[in-house]
Each structure stands twice: as structure tokens, then as C-alpha cells.
Copies of this chain bind each other. A is one copy, B any other.
Amino acid sequence: MSGVNLKKLSEELGLSISSVSKALRDSYEISAETKKRVLEMAEKLNYQPNPFARGLRKRKSITIAVVIPEIANNFFSVAIDGIQLIAQQKGYHVLTYLTHEDAQSEESTVKHLQGGRVDGVLISLCGDSASVGHLLSLNESGVPIVFFDRVPETRECPTVTTDDFESGFKATEHLLHAGCKRIAYLRVRGHLSTSQKRMDGYLAALKKNKLHADPKMIVDCTNENMSNVELLKKLLKLKNRPDGIFASVEKLAISTYYACNEIKLKIPEQLKIISFSNLRTASLLSPSLSTITQPAFEIGKESATLLFQMIEKKNFNNRIEQVVLKSDLIERNSSKRK
């Protein structure tokens, strides 16, 4: 703890602790002259009020929590950048928690946020989380929550997402226009809202183009690159193999590149790929990767802005705001027409 507390300050000034405290709180009981002296000494000694004493007094922590599945991920790290920008402007501290796609870890994290540690929570659900009961209980205890990107499917709550259905639709049509006849949809096993909506877009595009949706072309992957590469090698060696891959998350596109390298399948000549991705090196890959790119920084900014609006209001549960931002389809060589 800091060496300079109210006691030290009062000793230096030759004033009582209560007078110093009142001066710092700008009380009418203290003269302007004394206030000036106290403030100057506080500045000189670099006095910082104890945040726990202040937190207890004001019932505010000046802290928000960000709960995300992983941080070594281009989408989430850029989103946090946006969140931090707004938090900094508001003078708030940001606690970060990683759930590593584990529902139990998510639940115990959220439980620890009860009891006033934070004034609000931003969360992107882990793929594993089947229920949001733990979040509802936090919310009921008076802590506002904004969900971003991965949101509960079955509940009305404040969210910031992107146009996942529309983007899934466009990505699929893009591959069809490039000449693909048989497109596989790669997803990570679990309950991700994003994955479901992107797939709905994929299915709608197939339907519109009068193509049969083969359940074998909806491929459940894991979060682990090595096992995904093996799975994809098998898929791509099938007699009836796909000629297009739509990866619903970036890591699955990377695994597809590795698989193609290993079995010498040429992109885009023999297989076309498009992926949701915030990879900054997408244009430098061999071949450059066509992407659906989400406005990650904006998502972070919008989520934090919405959360602070809710923190500042008291009845934040009366009106639910849901923000949807547009993603960009960026055509590069991995999906080029022959």
C-alpha cells in the first residue's frame, strides 16, 4: 500500500485527519486557503486516495470486466483495444478474464464478479456455454452486462454483433460465383451464436441457388490445429471432396492451408477458400486469403460505449439496445476463379 495516507498528510500539514479529509472532499467547513494548502501538499507527496476506502464509500469500483474465450486471437485482441480506448476516456480500469472456451471457467469467473468488484461486464460467450444462468444472476444483482460477438441465442439482452447471417450468405455466394459446386462449411463444435447464424446464411445461399445442402459438408472441428489438419486431410482426400471451403473462424482457414500444403492440393485451382478472419497478414499468405473481416475495433468501442450508458443509468434493464455492425468481404487469391 502507498506510504502516503491521510495520516501522513495530516502530520505534514499539522492538521487533523478529519480536516484533511474534509478539505479533499471540498467541504464547506474548510476555508479556501486551507483547501489550497492541503491540495498542494497532496500533489507534492503524490497522495492517492485508497481505492478500497473510496469504493466502499461510493459503492462504485470504477472498474469493468471483460470476459473473453481467448486473447491470442486477432479478433479479440483488437476488440479489447477498442474497449480500452473507451474505458480510458471514462477513467475506468479494465479487468480481463480468459475462459479458454470452458463453461465452468466462465461460470466461476462471473461468480467472482458479484459483490461489487466491477460496475459492469462485457462478455463474449465461450463455445462450450450452454446456459447463461450465472450471467442472469449477476445482472439481477445490479451489474449491467453487454454481450459482444458471441451472444446468448435464446434471450433478449444488450448485444453488439455483426451481420453474421448476411456475411455467411455473401461468402457462400462468392464461392459459388467463383465456380464452386460443393462447398464445405467448417465450424467449431459447440453452441456459438455466430457459428449458427453464419451457417444459416450458408444454407440460405445454397437454397437460393437450388443446391442440395449435404450434411457431410457441415464439418465439426475442434479448437486444436493438429487434429483439425488431420480431419481436413481426410475430408479433402474423399472421392466426393469439397471444391470450396467456407471457414466460420480464422483458425480453421489456417488449418486448411496446412492440410492443403501437406497433401499438395492447390489453392485456388483445386480448392477455393474464404474465411471469417481479422488476420493482418491475410494479404501476404500464399495464396492471399479471401476474408470476411469483422470491424473488431468498432465492436469493442460500441460495446464499451453501450456498457457505460447502462452504468450511468439506473434502470438499465428497461430498454435493451442491440447494435449490429457490418463486416467486409475482401476478395483475394484464395477464392479466385480459374
A-side interface residues toward B, CB under 8 Å? 1-4, 46-53, 55-56, 59, 61, 63, 70-74, 77-78, 80-81, 84, 88, 93-98, 111-112, 114-117, 137, 140-142, 254, 257-258, 261, 279-281, 284-288
A144 vs chain B, min Cβ distance (A): 12
| Docked pose: A112 CA to B288 CA in angstroms | 44
Q: Which residues of B contact A288 (CB under 8 A)?
A: 286
Chain B: minimal CB distance from A143 (Å): 8
| Cβ–Cβ < 8 Å partners of A2 in chain B | 114-116, 141-142
Contact between A96 and B98, CB atoms less than 8 A apart: no
Task: Say yes or no: A71 contacts B81, CB within 8 Å.
Answer: yes
Contact flag A48-B115 (CB < 8 Å), given A78-B72, A80-B71, A84-B96: yes
A-B contact pairs, 30 of them (CB 8 A): A1-B59, A1-B115, A1-B116, A2-B116, A4-B141, A48-B111, A48-B114, A49-B115, A50-B116, A51-B116, A52-B55, A52-B61, A56-B56, A71-B71, A71-B80, A72-B77, A72-B81, A73-B77, A84-B96, A84-B97, A94-B96, A95-B95, A95-B96, A96-B96, A254-B281, A257-B284, A258-B284, A261-B284, A281-B285, A285-B286
Question: What residue in chain B is nearest A47 (Cβ atoms)?
Answer: B115
A43-B54 Cα distance, complex, nearest whole Å: 28
Question: Closest chain B residue to A84 by CB distance?
Answer: B98
Decide: A72 near B74, CB < 8 A? Known: A281-B279, A284-B257, A285-B285: yes
Q: A2-B115, A254-B281 are in contact. Are A56 and B50 (CB under 8 A)?
A: yes
Other than the given A50-B56, A71-B80, A73-B77, 19 more pairs (CB < 8 A) read A1-B115, A1-B141, A2-B141, A3-B140, A48-B115, A50-B115, A50-B116, A51-B117, A72-B78, A72-B80, A72-B81, A77-B77, A81-B98, A96-B96, A254-B281, A254-B284, A257-B284, A279-B281, A281-B285
* Least distance between A229 CB and chain B CB atoms (Å): 12
Closest beta carbon of chain B to A20's beta carbon, Å: 15
